[in-house]
Amino acid sequence: MEGTKRKRSLTLPQNKSGLFRLIAAVVVFALLFWRVGAVATVSQFGADTWLRLAVSGLILGGMYALIAIGYTLVYGILFMINFAHGEVMMIGAFGGYFVFEAFNAIPVTSADGTTLSLLNSYPILAVFLAFLVGMSIAALAGFLLEKIAYRPLRGAPRLVPLISAIGASIFLQNAGQLLFGPQRREYINPDLLTRGTGWEIPIGESSVMLTYTGVFSLVLSAILMIGLFVLVQRTKLGKAMRAVAQDKSTAALMGVDVDKVISQTFVISGLLAGAAGVMWGIHNQLINYFTGFLPGIKAFTAAVLGGIGNIPGAMIGGLFLGIVESVGPAALGIDFQLKDVIAFSILILVLIFRPSGILGEALAEEKV
Amino acid sequence: MKTSLQNSVRNGVVFGVVIVFLALIGFLVIAASLLQKMVGNPVGLTSMPSAASLLVFLGFLHLWNGWRVSHNKEDIDTNVPLKTRILRGLTAGVTTGLFLLVYALVVGTINERGVDMRVYLSMLSSQSIDFFLFNQSPLVGGLIQFGFSAAAAVVGAVLAKFADSGKDKVKSIQKAAVAWSDKSWLGKVKTNPYVSYVLIGVVLLLLVLVPRQWGAYWNYIMGTVGIYVLLGLGLNIIVGLSGQLVLGYVAFFAIGAYSFALVTAPDPHNLQFNFWIALVIAVLVSALSGVLIGLPILRLRGDYLAIVTLGFGEIIRILLKSDWLKDFTLGPRGLRNIAGPTLFGREFIGDIDFMYLIILAVLLALFIARRVQDSTVGRAWLAISQDETVAQATGVDTYKYKLLALAIGAAFAGLGGALFASRNQFTGPEDHVLMVSINVLCLVIVGGMGSIPGVVLGAFALKGLPEILRELESYRLLVFGALLVVMMILRPEGLWPAKRPNLEVKQPPPEPETDTRPAAIGGGS
Amino acid sequence: MSKKVLLFVFIVLAMVMASCSPKAAGSGVPAVCEEDSIGCAKIPAGSTIKLGMGAPLTGDYASFGVDISQGATIAIMDAEPIGDFNFELVAQDTGGSGEGGAAVANKLVTDETVVAIPGHIFSGSTEAAMPIYEKAGLPMLSPSATNPPLTQQGTSVFNRIAFTDAVQGQFAADYLYNKLGFTKIAVMHDGGAYGQGLADVVREEFTKLGGEVVAYEAITPGEVDYTATLSAIAANNPQAIYFGGYVAEGVVLANQMDQSGLADAVFFGCDGTFGSEFIEKTGASGEGAYAASVIPPESQAKIDFDAQYLKEFGVEAGSLSPYTWSGYDAAAALIAQVRAVAVLGDDGNLYVPRGALVQAVRNISGFQSITGDITCNEIGECNTAGPTFYIVENGEWVEAK
């Protein structure tokens, strides 16, 4: 961080433009607030609508955050955009899907004579196994991806692994289509997690529903993110990862097995993507081979928004992006079709005024 | 010995997994039918290809399996005894065979029970399973596969022995031939300065003659390749020369196509400008948009710039199809009846005319790209791409030059977009999706970043290859993705790497073992 | 350097050589070919009569392309051969884009044995392909390109059995206002040409009838969480939501209405949201939803088709897209026309007069098919009948009264 500051003060124009940017920032954000204020005063939306929008954004943001961490981890260590990360999530989603299908296919007759599917007899076991399988398959996919498509390219020009990642992404997407067919598949949830049901919170005359699946995925992503944070900050592996992110050759001299750490990073990011995939299925019902693509792009955006390479940044970026997507159009009085335009515009604004994201880069220092 | 057998087992596992995967996605069926088609015996609509063609296809894979393990890196010399080779081949073949046997037993048994597996695995029809089992019972079919795998791998291993012993001989003959030709005629030709002019003349002549010959389909495909050469040259200036990673290049393509379409199409604005005026407008509008987009964002570096430009590409696409701008752009329906070129009252809208137009545009773009690259501006870009901070410290106005690169790159894209819209007489938001940016970036890097001939080669590879793969139907993008990965692993520096003028302080020549890859371009280290 | 250039020249030369195959002149050509306005397609003995289709077989709309081409494949299987000549379907991938559509069209016209096109699938790809088929004289009969201007460009080759947004939208608005008595509705679409066209017509007609469109929003196709958009619409308290788009997004919308404060509103879809998949994936939240369709509920032809489709492809007909029956019909209708005009030559080859075939397709009248009788008018609209509206009751689509 110090290094960048010193370089910035080297030349005069930078300072002048810094002042200019500050003024521009004040003007732009003043305009934004003015617009939001103007819309809010004439808006027909009541408190219940705003709360619904916020809840929807928060749940979506939680999943973005989980996927974004995968991007950030890999980027922090290899300085490469793992374009196929969204596909890893898709693979995880399919892993969980097959567990649920298997559980749903087996009928169990309980003591009082009622016949339930195994899914509803042991819902917690089913959900646990779905996550276990989904996460392990995704982790395996991440591991193989690194081994096959990225490891041979270590040391190649920086954009080469990106192209390899794009190729892998195209391959995995089409393999998904050919293996599982082009149709969308439905996650059959246990009754415990029926979609579209939840706690009703009365607001004024109407009430806002907090869906069970939504709360479940939000809580689970929070737990996973805390777990990851502890892993990176407190464990030996985390220390090694940070060391590799800082400087590979020095880390190697200190006795860190760099290749192994990179592999493990891919496994961890695969685990998180797999969890996000299963959650995606449980909360959003439908999955197919294309499931990973859009969330992948969004999560990557979130990772950059928060400051790529920065784990808390990815979390904040994800939540922020989710909320901007759902609340933004309503707050600015714009068509919902343009929600991505708003999201990307906010990204651009943030980056213009904070060129390394909301929280800045942290896992490693400066990179060019 | 032990390690070499481990190596064989590992290789066998890889081949086993790959073949099972190919069977699961139904690729074996389509590969066999293609083989059958090649020998002039196409497969009927409902029937499966013959067992022989499956054996041929699998045979290739098994031979390769044996070939690969027959000699490995640990061997001190290539002269491995035949017995060892056979053992290695057998190990690999048996390992692969075991995978196939297990697969055959599992899938075959389920199939025999009458379960339709296509509910979960869409390509695994009962027919294709029978095809894999040669219409035998699971056990017999599996054993055939097993035996064939082992036998073919051994043959492959033995073949490799002969190939290895023949290799030196071939090499020496090759060397002698090259030496002879260098001495007698090729050397003279090489050093003769006129030869390159003659060659350029021949190429130009071919460019004139070929479009008349190969029909509308190839003109269309090569036209697309030509338009992607334009795009590639533009992006090459931005990414390859000035080192700025831009992922939203499609924005400029879209702006070019739409501004051309909007001023020539009868609907919705009925401006009906002349083709040439519209072309100039499209190029200027794109270049201007490059400047406008670049002004706020070019201070960002590396991947921040990448994601911001990706965002711009998406913003443009969403706006083009949005309800909000529907009266201006006709929304998702797109614009039709876009003008074709006219000259002295004659309309040039045939495929041959268009091919010529595209060739002219490409030649012009090649010329400009070449001149710009070799100019002061090009050297400034080179400095920026090597190290932006240092470039700035040495007095290069990095901001100005980056902006210039974006403007020129955008102008190329605008030209490409206008030609694209004019040729199809139609353009819509679906023509300007993120995949276009990704394709162009891929072609620049696959070709060799910063290299102009590389861009041309890359465009052929990226847009020509999927067309050649058309026979594979729904498998073509799968194969394409895999090829992209393989291409990067085999030639990370690109198909035709750039020869950079070495302007930096001379470094001691790198040692061949440690530095087989070129230094990072576009902001390495 | 020069070596590489030399190599390139050789490659180009080789390509030229390869592309100049000599054309053999035939004898025994029937007289109709001399008279035909375009000329004949000669199908040599031993080859097949090909129908070409441009369909998205990869990418995010692959399910449409795969499904419609599978529907057409069944029609090919059902077709009786003409003499020794079998029919064959050549499905080529367009990726759903205009560029891909033109590439496929250019590819298909180089094959002389391709005589007709049951496609393309999406309007953009059809738009780009049309002039190419026009030049080559290949008749098209699209099962699913619904963009209204397609038939208004004066081409002789383009026809479609999909009905246009304009017709359907008018009927839907009328039904919503007069039959169901709604006065406040919200209109949504998926941002595609088809959905937006429908939504625009419905909004316009509904307002004309005296109703009020309280919200008009588009969604991003391919996403699975539309709760934010729905919540914003809920604030306007519409009685119904009209949605123009496809079943994939329709399912998500219908499922998420409850949790977004739209529990009391009715979901009203279009022919894109009709089909078994909607019921399968909405369950209880789909009850009471409307959709439009041209498909007679359970004709024998449809039952037979569904059974064969399931047998051949292992999935239920209609679970990939709502257009599989149209895909069958388009191919079947074209095959019938080819059969009518084809002439067996004395030399054992089959001759298909292209000009006559283009005419025959435009003049199709009363062709019996799964989706009803096909009769083309003078601009190539072959399905001008109004849609029937259906409602989900107890997990079944039943005709709405």
Q: Give me the percent of chain B exceeding a pLDDT of 90.
A: 18
Mean pLDDT of chain B: 83
Token pair 């159009």 in the structure block, residue: A329
Confidence band for C20, pLDDT divided at 50, 70 and 90: very low
ipTM > 0.95 (yes/no): no
- B441 to chain C nearest CA, in Å? 18
CB-CB under 8 Å, A336 with C229:
yes
Nearest chain A residue to C225 by CA: give it.
A284
Among the listed residues C168, C135, C162, C138, the one whose alpha carbon sits nearest the alpha carbon of residue C150 = C162
pLDDT tens figures, A258-303: 889 999 999 999 999 999 999 999 988 888 888 888 889 889 889 8
Contacts of A203 (CB under 8 A, 6+ apart): A46, A47, A48, A51
Contact by Cβ (8 Å): B520, A157:
yes
pLDDT tens figures, B359-381: 889 999 999 988 888 888 888 88
Contact by Cβ (8 Å): C68, C321:
yes
Chain Cα centroid distance, residue C350: 29
Give me the pLDDT at residue C27, please.
Answer: 59
| CA distance readout (Å), B295 to A239, A352, B298, B404, C176 | 40, 10, 6, 11, 51
Token pair 């307002």 in the structure block, residue: C207
B115 and C CB contact within 8 Å? no
Q: Angle, to 10 degrees, between the axis of helix B215-235 and the axis of helix C2-19?
A: 150
pLDDT tens figures, C313-366: 888 887 788 888 889 999 999 999 999 888 888 888 888 899 899 999 998 888
Contact by Cβ (8 Å): A65, A317:
yes
**How many C-beta atoms surround the C-beta of residue B400 within 10 A?**
12
Confidence band for B515, pLDDT divided at 50, 70 and 90: very low
Tokens of B477: 């993008």
Name the β-bridge partners of C49. C87
Sequence letter at residue C46? G
Token pair 């995606």 in the structure block, residue: A280
Among the listed residues C105, C168, C111, the one whose alpha carbon sits nearest the alpha carbon of residue C142 = C105
Find the mean pLDDT for residues B437-465.
86
**How many C-beta atoms surround the C-beta of residue A230 within 10 A?**
11
CB-CB under 8 Å, C220 with A337:
yes
Over 70: is that where the pLDDT of C24 sits? no
Select from 1.10.3470, 3.40.1350, 3.40.50, 2.60.40 the CATH code of A18-37+47-353: 1.10.3470
| Cβ-Cβ contacts under 8 Å, B437 against chain A | none
Contacts of B364 (CB under 8 A, 6+ apart): none
Peptide bond into B268 cis (omega under 30): yes
Rounded to whole angstroms, how far apart are CA atoms C68 and B301?
Answer: 46
Radius of gyration of chain A (CA): 22
- C143 to chain A nearest CA, in Å? 19
By Cβ distance, the residue of C92, C109, C147 closest to B470 is C92
Pairing of strands C114-116, C49-55: parallel
- C127 to chain B nearest CA, in Å? 7
| CA distance readout (Å), B310 to A183, A340, B244, B317, B434 | 28, 12, 13, 11, 8
Find the mean pLDDT for residues C142-166.
84
Rounded to whole angstroms, how far apart are CA atoms B364 and A138?
Answer: 48
- DSSP assignments along A49-100, one per residue: HHHHHHHHHHHHHHHHHHHHHHHHHHHHHH----TTHHHHHHHHHHHHHHHH
Find the mean pLDDT for residues C199-214.
90
Give me the pLDDT at residue C384, please.
Answer: 65
CB-CB under 8 Å, C315 with A182:
no
Give me the pLDDT at residue C9, please.
Answer: 58
Rounded to whole angstroms, how far apart are CA atoms A285 and C225?
Answer: 10
Find the mean pLDDT for residues A160-179.
89
List the 273-302 stretch of A: residues with Cβ below 8 A of B.
297, 300-301
Contact by Cβ (8 Å): C122, C308:
no
Interface test with A, best of C66, C69, C212, C259 (most A CBs within 10 A): C259
Best-predicted range by mean pLDDT among A16-25, A164-173, B210-219, B489-498? A164-173
Sequence letter at residue B289? S
pLDDT tens figures, C79-132: 888 888 889 888 888 877 778 888 889 888 888 889 999 988 888 888 888 888
Contact by Cβ (8 Å): B254, B414:
no
Over 50: is that where the pLDDT of B454 sits? yes
Interface test with B, best of A170, A287, A359 (most B CBs within 10 A): A170
Confidence band for B516, pLDDT divided at 50, 70 and 90: very low
Half-sphere exposure of C56 (CA within 13 A, CB side): 26
| Cβ-Cβ contacts under 8 Å, B110 against chain C | none
pLDDT tens figures, C356-398: 999 999 988 888 888 878 888 888 888 766 788 888 888 888 8
Over 70: is that where the pLDDT of B82 sits? yes
Tokens of B49: 């290809």
Rounded to whole angstroms, how far apart are CA atoms B359 and B262?
Answer: 24
Rounded to whole angstroms, how far apart are CA atoms A65 and A61?
Answer: 6
| Cβ-Cβ contacts under 8 Å, A164 against chain B | 484-485, 488-489
Give me the pLDDT at residue C158, please.
Answer: 92
Nearest chain C residue to B326 by CA: give it.
C196
Lowest mean pLDDT, pick from A154-163, B513-522, C253-262 = B513-522
pLDDT tens figures, A88-140: 999 999 999 999 988 888 888 877 777 788 888 888 888 999 999 999 999 99
Rounded to whole angstroms, how far apart are CA atoms C275 and C254?
Answer: 14
Percentage helix, strand, coil for chain C under 3-state DSSP, each rounded to 5:
45, 20, 35
Contacts of C363 (CB under 8 A, 6+ apart): C376
Q: Fold match between C31-163+301-362 and C165-293?
A: yes
Give me the pLDDT at residue C11, please.
Answer: 57
Sequence letter at residue A142? G
Contact by Cβ (8 Å): B498, B448:
yes
Pairing of strands B342-343, B346-347: antiparallel
Name the β-bridge partners of C266. C240
pLDDT tens figures, A182-217: 888 888 888 888 887 888 888 777 788 888 888 998
Domain C31-163+301-362 matching CATH 3.40.50.2300: the answer reads yes
Chain Cα centroid distance, residue B387: 29
Over 90: is that where the pLDDT of B229 sits? yes
Among the listed residues B202, B262, B254, B212, the one whose alpha carbon sits nearest the alpha carbon of residue B231 = B254
Rounded to whole angstroms, how far apart are CA atoms B376 and C333?
Answer: 65
**How many C-beta atoms surround the C-beta of residue C10 within 10 A?**
10
E-strand stretches of B369-439: 426-427
Half-sphere exposure of B348 (CA within 13 A, CB side): 16
Lowest mean pLDDT, pick from A77-91, B31-45, C229-243, C367-381 = B31-45
Give me the pLDDT at residue A278, please.
Answer: 93
Give me the pLDDT at residue A47, please.
Answer: 80
Among the listed residues A140, A75, A144, the one whose alpha carbon sits nearest the alpha carbon of residue A311 = A75
Answer positive or negative: Cα dihedral of A47, A48, A49, A50. Answer: positive
Sequence letter at residue B390? V
Domain C165-293, architecture per CATH = 3-Layer(aba) Sandwich (3.40)
Lowest mean pLDDT, pick from A96-100, B229-233, C289-293 = C289-293
What is the residue extent of each domain of chain A? 18-37+47-353
Rounded to whole angstroms, how far apart are CA atoms B186 and C3?
Answer: 9
Interface test with A, best of B115, B293, B485, B516 (most A CBs within 10 A): B485
Rounded to whole angstroms, how far apart are CA atoms A72 and A49?
Answer: 33
pLDDT tens figures, B256-301: 999 999 998 887 877 778 888 899 999 999 999 999 988 888 878 7
pLDDT tens figures, B343-352: 777 777 677 8
**How many C-beta atoms surround the C-beta of residue C140 within 10 A?**
30
Task: Give the DSSP H/E element, type plus range, for residue A181.
Answer: none
Confidence band for C8, pLDDT divided at 50, 70 and 90: low
C117 and A CB contact within 8 Å? no
Sequence letter at residue B412? F
| Cβ-Cβ contacts under 8 Å, C60 against chain A | 290, 293
Rounded to whole angstroms, how far apart are CA atoms B404 and C388?
Answer: 59
Confidence band for B164, pLDDT divided at 50, 70 and 90: confident
pLDDT tens figures, C36-86: 888 888 888 888 899 999 888 877 788 888 889 999 999 998 888 888 888
Give me the pLDDT at residue C296, please.
Answer: 64
Task: Give the DSSP H/E element, type plus range, for residue B58.
Answer: helix B51-70
Q: What angle do CA B48, B54, B55 make, to 5 degrees?
A: 145
Answer positive or negative: Cα dihedral of B52, B29, A144, B443. Answer: positive
Rounded to whole angstroms, how far apart are CA atoms B69 and B90?
Answer: 10
What is the residue extent of each domain of chain B? 2-167, 229-490
Give me the pLDDT at residue C120, please.
Answer: 87
Confidence band for A312, pLDDT divided at 50, 70 and 90: confident
Over 80: is that where the pLDDT of A366 sits? no
Give me the pLDDT at residue A10, please.
Answer: 35
Pairing of strands C343-344, C290-293: unpaired
